[in-house]
A and B are shown apart, each in its own frame.
Chain A
Amino acid sequence: MKLPVIGQNAAQAALFLLLLLAVPYTLPNEYYLSICILGALNAVIAVGLNLLMGYAGQVSLGHAAFYGLGAYATAIATARFGLPIPAGMAIGVSLATVVAWVVAAPTLKLKGHYLAMATLGFGIIVSIVFNEAVDLTGGPSGYVGIPRLALFGYEFASDHSYYNLMAVVLTFVVLLSLNLMKSRTGRALRALHVSEKAAASLGVDIAAHKRFVFVLSAALAGLAGVLYAHYLSFIAPASFGFGFSVQLVVMVVLGGMASVWGSVAGALFLTALPEALREFEDIDILVYGAILVLTIMFLPDGLAGGLSRLSRRLRRLRRQGDAS
Chain B
Amino acid sequence: MTAALLDVAAATVRFGGIHALTEADFTIAPGTVTALIGPNGAGKTTLLNAITGMVPLTSGAVLLDGADISSLPPHKRAEAGVVRTFQNLEVFTSMSVLENVMAGRHALTRYSVAASLLRTPGFRRAERECREAALDCLEFVGLADLAHAPAGDLPYGKQRLLEMARALAASPKLLLLDEPAAGLNSKETAELGHLIRAIRDRRGVAVGLVEHDMDLVMSVSDFVTVLHFGHPLAAGTPDEIQANPDVIKAYLGEDD
Q: Residues of A at under 8 Å CB distance from B? A: 7, 9-10, 176, 179-180, 182-188, 190-191, 193-195, 197-206, 212, 258
Contacts and interface: CB of A to CB of B under 8 A. Distances in A.
A202 B117 contact: no
B116 A184 contact: yes
A200 B53 CA distance: 10
16 contacts: A182-B116, A184-B102, A185-B113, A187-B103, A190-B92, A190-B99, A194-B90, A194-B95, A195-B92, A198-B86, A198-B91, A200-B78, A202-B78, A202-B170, A203-B106, A212-B113
B29 interface: no
B251 interface: no
Given A201-B83, A202-B104, A193 B94 contact: yes
A172 B105 CA distance: 28
A202 B107 contact: yes
Contacts of A204: 75, 103, 106
A14 B106 CA distance: 30
**Chain A CB within 10 Å — which of B111, B116, B118, B123 has the most?**
B116
Given A188-B106, A190-B95, A203-B170, 16 more contacts: A176-B117, A183-B127, A184-B109, A184-B130, A185-B113, A187-B95, A187-B102, A194-B92, A197-B54, A198-B91, A198-B92, A199-B106, A200-B73, A200-B75, A201-B74, A202-B167
A195 B90 CA distance: 6
A205 B107 CA distance: 10
A54 B83 CA distance: 27
A101 to B, nearest CB: 15
B166 interface: yes
B136 interface: no
Nearest to B107: A203
B194 interface: no
Given A197-B86, A202-B166, A191 B103 contact: yes
Interface of B: 52, 54, 73-75, 78-79, 83-84, 86, 90-95, 99-100, 102-107, 109, 111, 113, 116-119, 123, 127, 130, 166-167, 170
Q: 5 closest pairs, A vs B, by CB?
A: A203-B107, A183-B116, A198-B90, A203-B78, A200-B74
* Residue with the greatest number of chain A CB neighbours at <10 A, chosen from B94, B103, B117, B166: B103
Contacts of A187: 95, 99, 102-103, 106
A4 B228 CA distance: 58
B116 A201 contact: no
Contacts of B78: 200-203
Contact of A7 (B103, B107, B113, B119): B119
B52 A201 contact: yes
A293 to B, nearest CB: 25
Given A180-B116, A184-B116, A187-B99, A203 B75 contact: yes
A254 B58 CA distance: 47
Contacts of B102: 184, 187
A211 B252 CA distance: 51
Given A187-B103, A195-B92, A258-B94, A202 B83 contact: yes
B212 to A, nearest CB: 21
A312 to B, nearest CB: 14
A97 to B, nearest CB: 14
Contact of B103 (A202, A205, A206, A212): A202
A203 B123 contact: no
Contact of B90 (A180, A184, A197): A197
Given A179-B117, A203-B75, A184 B106 contact: yes
